A and B are shown apart, each in its own frame.
Chain A
Amino acid sequence: MQFGVFSVSDITRDPVSGETPSEAERIDAIVQIAEKAEEVGLDVFAIGEHHNPPFFSSAPTTLLAHIAARTKRLIVSTATTLITTNDPVRIAEEYAMLQHLAKGRMDLMLGRGNTAPVYPWFGADIRQSLPLALENYNLLHRLWREDVIDWEGKFRTPLQGFTSTPRPLDDVPPFVWHGSIRTPEIAEQAAYYGDGFFANNIFWPKEHYMRLIKFYRQRYAHYGHGTEKQAIVGLGGQAYIAKRSQDAINEFRPYFNEAPVYGHGPKMEDFMEMTPLSVGSPQEVIDKTLTFREHFGDYQRQMFLMDHAGLPLKTVLNQLDLLGEEVVPVLRKEIEARQDPETAKPPTHARRVEEKYGDQPARQPRPNANRGDNVTGGSPYQDSR
């Protein structure tokens, strides 16, 4: 089981101090948060993608490459990469490059984005969001698996004899999670390709996610990738931890009350009751997180949202200490003891290389010489089939 933190990259006024960090401060902070995640023993750091203030993360692969260079074990990922407004060709290129630089310590999560005005900025239309996402991913999936592709679809310019470079590291495409909260078509696509399925698990009552995850597991088995229990599931979660339960509640309440999206709405206690939010002692966060596998089945990745709503850097780093030192080690032990032995191992590059090649060496594509026309032709690599 992998544990990590994910950030939406919001730059939010701290409701207690009244300060709003600058973009520069927040970008520096996120690098420190990612480094801290590795230091306290977490496995994954993921960043969102947005193209409007008050968010900073418009170029996730640049940030993640920097973080990968500054860390040793941490897997860098996204939450989410927009499969609608990004050109799938650019996603294929950028994330393959990241995969090389991070030596395989990366994966990505795809999402559609729900902010209508963003779509036309990139020449897209939110009303076509779902078919756009599905078609774009069908293309992305091929770009990472076929050296040369001819492709024609409804939304993007056709491709003739196109090769996405660099080829994935060891010719093993990055692992992909598909994030969705209520769209069966996205779960179906994840299942069809044998990819991971991620439920953000933050806002809505768990019943919403349980239904979709169950459908994904059934379809994963239907397409022959393994049993329902072997499907690859990730979950989000949200926690604020203090040694004493009452301190956690008192400290987090002003941030909760003014948080973007759910602030000025439900009472924190009601929200805790009906959603996966835990605010309390390490033991309370452990107990609540342990219930997730009872609802959703054994799963591979648990992400926590920890740096949002204007929480200052110092507090976030302190939260990561508590998460890494007092919560996650217990969760690892408890989950290992309870987990169904049939459960799939979490995806890593090393494991995927081994699955593909066994003891054999991995393919290392070497291009043929440039013929002088800057076009590589039908067999661009020396070992092209």
Chain B
Amino acid sequence: MTEQFKLVVVSAGTSDPSSTRLLAERAAQRVAQLASEKQYQAGIQVVELRELASEIANALVSNHIGPKLQQAITTLQHADGIVASTPVYKAGASGLFTSFFQILDNDLLIAKPVVLAATAGTARHALVVDDQMRGLFAYLRTVVVPTSLFASTEDWQDNALNKRIDRAALELVALMASGFEKQVRAESWGRYQHEFGSAGGTELSIDLDSDLMRLAAGGHA
């Protein structure tokens, strides 16, 4: 029996092809390869944020989730693992990248394993992933693998990048194979903060036994 992993690449690269997407895809392909060596299979889906740019902006200002954005949210909701990759602009992740993750429901990605990746024109941006991006993914209650990926211009000709990709890929496979997300969601989902209709529209449980529900039914909180 081979387990099928759904691996989702989220790229905020803007050119086609972009080095940002290239980095993410190399990591994703390495994940798929390592997975198959361990009797798993991994299917890769790519979410190109460039194509969602106007819908992301609309969602930020009006709460209105467009059809392509909704599809991306559904894709992430079913992901077993995520590779999230962004270019570095002005010493930070691209605004397109952070905007996208800011729109998501707080509980959409709980316990999902994530590889973080960034590209830049200079090695001086190397700590953007660990210093800035990890905080966002911690807020979203994801599990970010220990090895972050960063590639500036000179890294593309350095074999050390491949080694880091190998490390990050294996870390992701190990987390996916451990069933961490499934266990957390199965046993502890209720302990996280949810709203009615959150988790991409799937969180519909209602606790009738809460203080507020008793107050709603004429009682005292």
Contact = CB atoms under 8 A, between A and B. Distances in A.
A374 B197 CA distance: 52
B204 interface: yes
B64 A271 contact: yes
Interface in A181-199: 182-186, 188-189, 192-193
Contacts of B178: none
B217 A192 contact: yes
Contacts of A273: 67
Contacts of B213: 184-185, 188
A196 to B, nearest CB: 15
Contact of A183 (B61, B196, B215, B220): B196
A278 to B, nearest CB: 16
A298 B201 CA distance: 24
A213 to B, nearest CB: 12
Contacts of A154: 221
A66 B58 CA distance: 40
Contacts of A130: 212
A270 B52 CA distance: 14
A266 interface: yes
Chain B, interface size: which category? 20 to 34
B64 A262 contact: yes
A266 to B, nearest CB: 5
Given A211-B197, A211-B204, A189 B62 contact: no
A266 B216 contact: no
Nearest to A261: B62
Contact of A135 (B64, B197, B206, B221): B221
Nearest to B61: A265
Contacts of A189: 216-217
Interface string B103-132: 000000000000000000000000000000
A274 to B, nearest CB: 7
B197 A266 contact: no
A76 interface: no
A264 interface: yes
A139 B171 CA distance: 57
* Top 6 A-B pairs, shortest CB-CB distance: A265-B62, A189-B216, A188-B216, A265-B58, A134-B215, A192-B217
16 contacts: A131-B221, A135-B221, A182-B195, A182-B197, A183-B196, A185-B212, A188-B217, A192-B216, A207-B197, A207-B201, A208-B197, A211-B196, A266-B66, A270-B64, A270-B66, A271-B64
Given A134-B212, A265-B58, A274-B64, 14 more contacts: A130-B212, A141-B218, A185-B213, A185-B215, A185-B216, A188-B208, A188-B213, A188-B216, A189-B216, A205-B65, A266-B58, A270-B67, A274-B67, A275-B64
